[in-house]
């Protein structure tokens, strides 16, 4: 056999045999998804290993969107079993799943996470904003004198004379982050709808979706990357800057940061749970039912996730900042998930 052919066939054989070698069974559960759900899944994974002695699940923080891409890639050993999400699965993602044969998915709403606007304790103003003011400070386009124009405001006092005369500056997550999606939906859209211009102008939800989803890009809003700790450090260093991140980061840094009140309500476990703090979002995870009973220990892992020890109020997830569901909803959730109820597909 001449040389190049020999080499080519050796490579081909090597490639095939490696593929074959890795197609064999895997014994660890693979979990991908949102960086917000990540700490909770980590806690469950660790508890699960300690309780059962099973091989350690592999938990990867890929972001909600990235997790969906991997999760919906297909059925089989090389695809993830569970993905976490800081928003419900989108219709486009559900279609992707269907297209790749992932048809039987169970959706689990595990609880809520507050999104907090926070500022350094060195700033001595008692911050109390409405969502409308938050939108006027950070939205790309705002109404000025009945015109929908690029955001002209640079100081808080421009928006409301009762606010300090300091530059508007907020650090927040980039568009790839589920936290950003949630912030846009819960704070920006809601804030936009509060404005007189929108409320009296007869604009509908689609208009709001189209025009109020963009954060401003002229400086006052800074995308600070997926690393929430970095945002915490930056706003610690600059007493006039605000930060946007998950409540658990505020909770861990209460000695240095304070939450900005929204309409007089401070973010806390209680106010997020009773919904009086408006910027809170649901956290989900999705299970690929075709993998149940195939991947070893997957069922046991889901049982641990669904146990009262983990989920109920006072459970170890609420100690990490998760705001649990009400008791009756949790009961339904546990039943649905353990029975592997298949989801219908998102409405939107």
Which positions touch other proteins (CB under 8 A)? 15, 18-19, 22-23, 26, 28, 30, 35, 38-39, 41-43, 45-46, 49-50, 53, 55-62, 78, 121, 226-229, 248-249, 251-255, 314, 316, 320-321
For other proteins, the closer of residues 61 and 271 by Cβ is 61
Would you call 255 exposed, middle or buried from its count of C-beta atoms within 10 A (0-12, 13-18, 19+)? exposed
Classified as helix, coil or strand, 71 is helix
Alpha carbon 127 to chain centroid distance? 25
Classified as helix, coil or strand, 55 is coil
For other proteins, the closer of residues 90 and 121 by Cβ is 121
For other proteins, the closer of residues 33 and 132 by Cβ is 33
Please state the closest distance from residue 167 (CB atom) to other proteins, in A: 26
Neighbours of 331 (CB within 10 A): 11
For other proteins, the closer of residues 193 and 252 by Cβ is 252
First to last CA, the chain: 60
Residue with tokens 């689609």: 206
Please state the closest distance from residue 28 (CB atom) to other proteins, in A: 6
Alpha-carbon dihedral of residues 75, 76, 77, 80, nearest 10 degrees?
Answer: 0
**To 5 degrees, how large is the angle CA 50–CA 53–CA 54?**
115
Please state the closest distance from residue 33 (CB atom) to other proteins, in A: 12
Q: How far apart are CA 57 and CA 27, in angstroms?
A: 9
Please state the closest distance from residue 175 (CB atom) to other proteins, in A: 18
For other proteins, the closer of residues 313 and 341 by Cβ is 313
The torsion angles phi and psi of 153, rounded to 5 degrees, stand at -75, 135
Please state the closest distance from residue 335 (CB atom) to other proteins, in A: 24
For other proteins, the closer of residues 27 and 328 by Cβ is 27
CA-based R_g, the chain, Å: 23
Q: Is 231 left (phi over 0), alpha (psi -120 to 50) or beta?
A: alpha
Please state the closest distance from residue 248 (CB atom) to other proteins, in A: 5
Q: Which residues contact 45 (CB under 8 A, 6 or more apart)?
A: 29, 31, 56, 57, 59, 301
Contact (Cβ atoms closer than 8 angstroms) between residue 173 and residue 224: yes
Please state the closest distance from residue 73 (CB atom) to other proteins, in A: 10
Q: How far apart are CA 325 and CA 333, in angstroms?
A: 9
Ordered alpha helix ranges (H), 83-186: 91-99, 131-138, 156-159, 178-183
For other proteins, the closer of residues 47 and 213 by Cβ is 47
For other proteins, the closer of residues 28 and 140 by Cβ is 28
Please state the closest distance from residue 121 (CB atom) to other proteins, in A: 7
For other proteins, the closer of residues 268 and 334 by Cβ is 268
Q: How far apart are CA 221 and CA 244, in angstroms?
A: 10
Contact (Cβ atoms closer than 8 angstroms) between residue 35 and residue 182: no
Please state the closest distance from residue 77 (CB atom) to other proteins, in A: 9
């Amino acid at each position: 056999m001449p040389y190049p052919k020999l080499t080519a066939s050796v490579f081909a054989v090597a490639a095939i045999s490696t593929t074959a070698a890795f197609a064999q069974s895997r014994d660890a559960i693979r979990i991908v998804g949102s960086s917000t759900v990540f700490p909770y899944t980590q806690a469950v994974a660790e508890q699960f290993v300690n309780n059962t002695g099973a091989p350690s699940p592999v938990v990867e923080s890929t972001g909600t969107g990235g997790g969906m891409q991997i999760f919906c890639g297909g059925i089989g050993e090389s695809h993830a079993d569970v993905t976490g999400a800081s928003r419900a699965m989108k219709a486009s993602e559900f279609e992707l799943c269907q297209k790749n044969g992932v048809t039987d998915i169970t959706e689990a709403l595990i609880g809520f996470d507050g999104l907090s606007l926070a500022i350094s304790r060195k700033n001595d103003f008692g911050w109390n904003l409405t969502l409308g003011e938050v939108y006027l400070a950070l939205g790309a386009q705002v109404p000025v004198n009945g015109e929908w124009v690029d955001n002209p405001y640079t100081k808080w006092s421009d928006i409301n004379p009762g606010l300090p005369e300091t530059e508007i500056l907020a650090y927040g997550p980039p568009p790839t982050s589920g936290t950003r999606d949630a912030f846009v939906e819960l704070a920006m859209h809601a804030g936009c709808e509060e404005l007189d211009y929108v409320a009296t102008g007869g604009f509908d939800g689609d208009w709001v979706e189209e025009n109020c989803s963009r954060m401003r890009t002229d400086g006052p809003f800074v995308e600070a990357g997926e690393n929430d700790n970095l945002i915490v450090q930056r706003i610690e260093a600059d007493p006039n800057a605000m930060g946007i991140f998950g409540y658990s980061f505020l909770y861990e840094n209460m000695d240095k940061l304070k939450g900005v009140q929204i309409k007089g309500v401070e973010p806390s476990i209680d106010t997020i749970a009773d919904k009086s703090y408006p910027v809170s979002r649901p956290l989900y995870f999705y299970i690929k039912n075709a993998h149940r009973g195939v991947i070893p220990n997957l069922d046991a892992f889901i049982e641990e996730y669904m146990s009262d020890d983990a989920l109920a109020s006072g459970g170890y997830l609420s100690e990490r900042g998760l705001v649990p569901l009400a008791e009756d909803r949790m009961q339904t959730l546990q039943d649905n998930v353990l029975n592997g109820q298949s989801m219908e597909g998102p409405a939107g």
